[in-house]
Structure 1
Amino acid sequence: MIKAEFEASDGTYGYRRITARLGRRGVVTHHGTVRCLMRQAGLVAAQPRRKVRTTTPAADLEGRPDLVERDFTATTPGTKWVGDITYIRTWVGFVYLATVLDCALT
């Protein structure tokens, strides 16, 4: 039952959550027992990752011109475009997303 609950959580639940899940199913057990059995079965929950700083401000940020002057509107399509790039963390690594938007309301 412990292994089934562990696999149902995609390997993210530790002994405390497994004990709670078993308790909700009517199986009363001590968390120390669950911890010992998980250790014997080699079940190790996924540990939280530490935060990694991936973006640092540019040193010359104040000297860069604001070409749109914080006006993100345009009267005709194709006259003013803005863009950005970001990253999205996935199970296999980072995926980068670039966007380009036309400021005209159509």
Structure 2
Amino acid sequence: MILVGSTFIFWIFILSHRLLHPVLKIRDRLAIHLNHALCREIQIRENELSKRLDLLRRNYELEFSYLHEQIHDYSHLYTLALKAGHFDLGHGAGILGHSMTEMKATGA
């Protein structure tokens, strides 16, 4: 009786292994496929983020360049106003406007 029971359990183990083996192979293939798909998705998103970062970097560089030019222009106007003797603390922000008008009038 014990021999019949152990033989039965052995055959159940063999059959279940033979039945499960293809299922396990399919599971492994699916896992590999999903892993590759996930890696591709990560690469796509990484490329998109890299492009966006480069675009932001270029925009900030252009903005910085523009601001640098504006500062240079205003500094130049301030220097011209000082040289022309048109600097008056009482006029506040109008100093550059007055000096620009006078520079245009004098042809400077």
TM bucket, shorter chain: under 0.3
- Superposition TM-score, scaled by structure 2 size: 0.18
Q: Which has the higher contact order (CA 8 A, sep 6+)?
A: 1
The structure with the greater share of residues assigned to helix is 2
The structure with the greater share of residues assigned to strand is 1
Q: Which has the larger radius of gyration?
A: 2
- Superposition TM-score, scaled by structure 1 size: 0.18
